[in-house]
Amino acid sequence: MLLNDRKIRILEAIINDYILTAEPIGSRTIAKKYGLGISSATIRNEMSDLEDMGFIIQPHASAGRVPTDKGYRLYVDRLMRRRELTDEEARFLQSVIANNINQIDYMMQETARAIAVLTKCAIVVSEPQVKKTTIKHIQLVPVDEQAFVMVLVTDSKVVKNHLIYLDQVPDEQALARMSAFINESLRELCVEDIDSSLAKKLASQFGHEEDALYAVLNAIAAVMQSEDDVQIYTSGVRNILSFPEFSDLEKAKAMFKALEEKDMLITLLGKNSSEKIQVVIGSENNLELLEDCSVIKANYHVSGQNFGSIGIIGPKRMDYSQAVAVLNGILKHLSAVIKALSGK
Amino acid sequence: MLLNDRKIRILEAIINDYILTAEPIGSRTIAKKYGLGISSATIRNEMSDLEDMGFIIQPHASAGRVPTDKGYRLYVDRLMRRRELTDEEARFLQSVIANNINQIDYMMQETARAIAVLTKCAIVVSEPQVKKTTIKHIQLVPVDEQAFVMVLVTDSKVVKNHLIYLDQVPDEQALARMSAFINESLRELCVEDIDSSLAKKLASQFGHEEDALYAVLNAIAAVMQSEDDVQIYTSGVRNILSFPEFSDLEKAKAMFKALEEKDMLITLLGKNSSEKIQVVIGSENNLELLEDCSVIKANYHVSGQNFGSIGIIGPKRMDYSQAVAVLNGILKHLSAVIKALSGK
DNA sequence: GTTAGCACTCGACCTCGTTGAGTGCTAATT
DNA sequence: AATTAGCACTCAACGAGGTCGAGTGCTAAC
């Protein structure tokens, strides 16, 4: 059977209406609401065909039609109008990015919150993994008689703190010397390169304050360890309560629970590092718990560095065009801000 | 009317049962389930008295009784069995505290998450305010040609990072000198003491690299500014969905929304800094949105420093004894860990 | 190929009677 | 005087039955 132009127009009407109302839509409604110049009976025949082709389905015998995953896929690929962000949306996103540029690992979380506000969807963010990046600088900063801080800067400008407690904290000068020594030894090393044999070698080279040196190297390893498994944050999860598809409390609960399962979210955001925005509809994600959801996701790279991934999770009838526009907007603003800062 | 022993035992039975079942409880049930040795008719009479005294109430004419705020208050003050944490609970909390002792500002959030798991309630945490504490140390750490990090350590061991972008980043030695100079000038100063006149004075004293110095002082001010309004975090908010009192979707939504209102949460946690655990029942908190909830809260001080506050929010029939035990446990473990670390 | 007409389906909603848990009151019992 | 048994009454919850309306598929006419 051929998917002629009229069928497409009808399918488009069904999907647009369903996105708006979340109610199954019947032939008469289409005839009345979307002046296609044909009668409801004709539309009925065409709808029957569309159902045979797998684009729409009847939830039960005497109900209207609802788009299937295949229907949404066609919509996203061919029918959806791609739009730009409104000025207001753009300004909002830009301000969030600009305001958090001083704490890059925090920025993605704040951005997620902003997207949640704009799209009214749930947002998942994964942080960049430190182990893939190299150590740029280490600095030991005194705190008091029992503790000092190890500050670790990676080449992707992520800064991590780690308090180190010790019976005998070296004085400020000693800490500075040790910082310099470690920096000299570890500069540009990948975080993965640090192991116990390296620690031993360094300790013998440095020759004194062994306790402190070991503690620092351990701390570096600990930071690495904790960053080793990807960090995942969610935001705006409560937004799903506003969607009628989750007005069943059990479904809502299941959804909340699903969005707490880190492993699943990692799978969801995926490992591919394409810079293109991806739309995953319903069961395409192969995750049973989220088969009623769609995900729009993107990876962020700035000058070749991975800043993490963002996924927008909503019901299958979510506003795809907005979601895509928002992710595109972020991509644009992020590079713009970074470029402006690096002064070129 | 006198609140005699028998009335108290009946009230206790009602509250205990209601905490368990969330259903209004009638005289016959009490007679059967809690062998008090009196008939349901007698219990009916006593319940009628208890209602007159304001301890219980009938939600509607032919229903059983439910405790009032006054009833819960009596329960918490006089009837509730105070219990200790189980070994398992204690171990769990201790491990969370110990594992995050290296990042103190992060520890409270992780602790909140742990409490949410234990109590199945929603948890609110407020961070300690930097402006009340003094600057212990500042360190400038190079990142790359366009940026360096200002690391700020407060006397309560909280460490804050702030990336500073500049056309001309001073080299490592210059940064070190500037760190030393600022430390010398600001040591033990309260964060509130830094203003533009001080900045001018310091800039003229230091004499060179004015741009960078101003940027750093601004950054210090910015950190102060952002910390100026209390930071509030929530955890385990979705737990409220499991309580039957919020099985009405509208109520659940209202609750979610309420727990996003920062101002309200600040009011809720309160400004008083008593070290005692406080129980606030229902409308005692004077917040209409949360009048169906109770809050158990505590402030944490270690060697006189405020670490922030934690509030456990649940329905009025929550497990008060567990909530109190958990907060007590945290208080204990926190001091224990800190003491162990400071080596005394 | 399109449309009007019609029988049919089925969820949503309303009404109404039944059930059962609960109360308060009164009179009998201890 | 306190307790209890008994009874009439109340009311939410539940299920059965009925109506309504939005929707369909099919057939015959245009």
Give the DSSP letter string of A16-61.
HHHHHH-S-B-HHHHHHHS--SS-HHHHHHHHHHHHHTTSEE-SST
pLDDT beneath 50: ranges in chain B: 344
Portions of chain A given CATH number 3.30.450.40: 87-129+231-341
Chain A to chain B, count of Cβ pairs less than 8 Å apart? 115
Look-up: residue for tokens 């040790």?
A178
Among residues of chain A, what percentage have pLDDT more than 70? Answer: 94
Of chain B, the end-to-end C-alpha distance in Å amounts to: 56
Does residue A39 lie within 7 Å of nucleic acid chain C, judged by its CB? yes
Judging by DSSP bridges, how do beta strands B122-126 and B232-235 pair with one another? antiparallel
CA A266 – CA A234 distance, rounded (Å): 12
Note the pTM of the prediction, 2 decimals. 0.90
CA B286 – CA B275 distance, rounded (Å): 22
The DSSP H or E segment spanning B173 is helix B172-186
In sequence order, the 6+-apart residues with CB closer than 8 A to the CB of A188 are: A134, A135, A136
Does residue B23 lie within 7 Å of nucleic acid chain D, judged by its CB? no
CA A283 – CA A174 distance, rounded (Å): 59
Portions of chain B given CATH number 3.30.450.40: 87-129+230-341
pLDDT at A344 over 60: no
Using a CB-CB cut-off of 8 Å, the residues of chain A touching B104 are 163
pLDDT digits (tens, 9 = 90+) for A73-129: 999 999 999 999 999 999 999 999 988 888 877 888 899 999 999 999 999 998 766
Portions of chain B given CATH number 1.10.10.10: 5-79
User: What average pLDDT does this structure show over A194-199?
Assistant: 83
Does residue B315 lie within 7 Å of nucleic acid chain C, judged by its CB? no
Residue-level pLDDT at B128: 66
From 1.20.120.1200, 3.30.390.60, 3.40.640.10, 3.10.310.10, which CATH number describes the B131-228 domain?
Answer: 3.30.390.60
Q: Taking all residues of chain B, what is their mean pLDDT, rounded to a whole number?
A: 89
Chain A 143-202 residues whose Cβ is under 7 Å from strand D: none
pLDDT at A229 over 70: no
Class of the domain covering A5-79: mainly alpha
User: What average pLDDT does this structure show over A245-264?
Assistant: 90
Q: Taking all residues of chain A, what is their mean pLDDT, rounded to a whole number?
A: 89
Portions of chain B given CATH number 3.30.390.60: 131-228
CA A222 – CA A228 distance, rounded (Å): 9
pLDDT digits (tens, 9 = 90+) for B308-336: 899 999 999 999 999 999 999 998 888 78
Residue-level pLDDT at B335: 78
pLDDT at A340 over 80: no
Class of the domain covering A87-129+231-341: alpha beta
pLDDT digits (tens, 9 = 90+) for B277-307: 999 999 999 999 999 999 999 998 766 667 7
Complete DSSP assignment for A98-133: HHTTTSHHHHHHHHHHHHHHHH-SEEEEEPPPGGGS
pLDDT digits (tens, 9 = 90+) for B138-152: 999 998 888 899 999
CB contact under 8 A, A164 and B102: yes
Out of A132-146, A171-185, A312-326, B160-174, least confident range:
A132-146
CB contact under 8 A, A163 and B102: yes
Q: Which alpha helices (H) appear in chain A, and where do they start and end?
A: 5-21, 27-33, 40-52, 69-74, 87-99, 104-119, 172-186, 196-206, 210-228, 249-258, 262-269, 320-341
In sequence order, the 6+-apart residues with CB closer than 8 A to the CB of B167 are: A343, B146, B211
CATH number, span B87-129+230-341: 3.30.450.40
Helix (H, G, I), strand (E, B) or coil at A64: coil
Among residues of chain A, what percentage have pLDDT more than 90? Answer: 59
Does residue B49 lie within 7 Å of nucleic acid chain C, judged by its CB? no
Of chain A, the end-to-end C-alpha distance in Å amounts to: 56
Residue-level pLDDT at A129: 66
For an interface test with B, the pick among A134, A140, A149 (most B C-beta atoms closer than 10 Å) comes out as A149
For an interface test with B, the pick among A117, A135, A153 (most B C-beta atoms closer than 10 Å) comes out as A153
**Band of the pLDDT at A320, cuts 50, 70, 90?**
very high
pLDDT digits (tens, 9 = 90+) for A271-284: 777 788 999 999 99
In sequence order, the 6+-apart residues with CB closer than 8 A to the CB of A295 are: A268, A279, A280, A285, A311, A312, A313
